């Protein structure tokens, strides 16, 4: 039997509940950050001439369990 796993949790930044892949989702102190907040943070980093944070392609996709 096979299935998929996702974690449902509030975003550290905006507190909205979202689903993520626990292996790859960006987090700070084990608190996940949603895609929208990561993209916003990366836009701000680029404006300041900083490298964007890496967002793994599977960060917001289900994980096979």
pLDDT at residue number 64:
87
- In the block, tokens 């599977």 appear at 58
* Residue 33 counted as domain residue: yes
* Average pLDDT of the chain, as a whole number: 96
* Residue 24 counted as domain residue: yes
Q: How many domains does the chain have?
A: 1
Task: Quote the CA–CA distance of 34 and 14 in Å, as a whole number.
Answer: 8
Question: What pLDDT, in 10s, does the model give residues 13-44?
Answer: 999 999 999 999 999 999 999 999 999 999 99
pLDDT at residue number 65:
83
Helices and strands: H and E segment counts in the chain: 1, 6
The whole model's pTM is what? 0.89
Domain range for 40: 4-60
* Residue 22 counted as domain residue: yes
| Chain center to CA of 37 | 8
* Residue 65 counted as domain residue: no
């Amino acid at each position: 039997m096979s299935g998929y796993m996702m974690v449902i949790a509030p975003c550290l930044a905006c507190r909205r509940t979202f689903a993520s892949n626990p292996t790859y989702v960006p987090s700070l102190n084990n608190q996940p950050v949603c895609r929208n907040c990561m993209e916003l943070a990366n836009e701000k980093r680029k404006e300041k001439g900083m490298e964007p944070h890496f967002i793994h392609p599977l960060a917001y996709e289900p994980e096979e369990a």
